[in-house]
């Protein structure tokens, strides 16, 4: 019995979607013009001149707790909620909105561009970690939970889970850390 041509088209589309990573769209070209004094070298301030930050610093810890509650949630490319599945940036933007009532874009590179850069050594629970997993900066992300661990929605093995930053796959791919807590 032969395969339906529709099934072949659907299978090809799924392969393209899975291979394209966790951001739903490519970020627009950067329009930032000034580098903040506290940023690591090569990182520019967002075009708006201000960084996205949580109104209540206690929300950072709540991000971690909320993320822990999503462990085991299925992966879905472009996924923005636990019922349908989550991708990496969809998980982060969903959690931030649930905890703070404020929205972030559904794209890892755009989130990196609008949040305050910090050194990886300065990571605190609730901060964001970014990775170059598709030969482009900030193509994957997660929420730092402390003790060298982060929570993310990977396409591999398809479930929200905890990984270590020193994991042999992730360690060489770390390409940024951001905080959502206003620094004074």
> Is 138 annotated in the active site?
no
The closest of 107, 109, 130, 106 to 179, measured between CA atoms, is 130
End-to-end CA distance of the chain: 68
| 156 Cβ contact list (under 8 Å, min separation 6) | none
SS3 102: coil
pTM: 0.77
**Residue range 84-99, pLDDT digits in tens:** 999 999 999 999 999 9
Catalytic residue among 22, 88, 106, 138, which? Answer: 88
> Is 88 annotated in the active site?
yes
SS3 150: strand
Give the rounded distance of the alpha carbon of 162 from its chain centre: 14
CB 141 within 8 A of CB 124: no
**Cα–Cα distances in Å, from 88 out to 6, 76, 103, 104, 142?**
29, 9, 15, 13, 6
Residue 94 in tokens: 């969903």
Give the integer Cα–Cα distance in Å for 79 and 110.
16
**Residue range 100-157, pLDDT digits in tens:** 999 999 999 999 999 999 999 999 999 999 999 999 999 999 999 999 999 999 987 7
Give the integer Cα–Cα distance in Å for 159 and 75.
5
Catalytic residue among 59, 106, 138, 140, which? Answer: 140
Write down all domains in the chain, each with its CATH number in brackets: 54-179 (3.90.1720.10)
> Is 152 annotated in the active site?
yes
């Amino acid at each position: 019995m032969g395969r339906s041509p529709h099934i072949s088209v659907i299978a090809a589309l799924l392969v393209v979607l899975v291979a394209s990573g966790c951001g739903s769209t490519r970020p627009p070209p950067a329009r930032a013009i000034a580098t903040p004094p506290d940023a690591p070298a090569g990182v520019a301030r967002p075009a708006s001149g201000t960084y996205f930050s949580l109104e209540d610093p206690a929300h950072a810890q709540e991000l971690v707790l909320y993320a822990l509650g999503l462990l085991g949630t299925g992966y879905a490319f472009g996924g923005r909620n636990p019922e349908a599945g989550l991708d990496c940036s969809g998980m982060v933007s969903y959690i931030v909105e649930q905890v703070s009532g404020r929205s972030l874009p559904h794209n890892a590179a755009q989130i990196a561009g609008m949040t305050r850069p910090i050194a990886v050594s300065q990571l605190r629970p609730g901060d964001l970690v970014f990775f170059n997993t598709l030969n482009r900066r900030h193509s994957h992300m997660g929420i730092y939970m402390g003790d060298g661990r982060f929570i993310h929605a990977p396409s591999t093995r398809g479930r929200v889970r905890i990984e270590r930053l020193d994991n042999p796959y992730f360690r060489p791919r770390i390409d940024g850390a951001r905080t959502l807590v206003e620094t004074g």
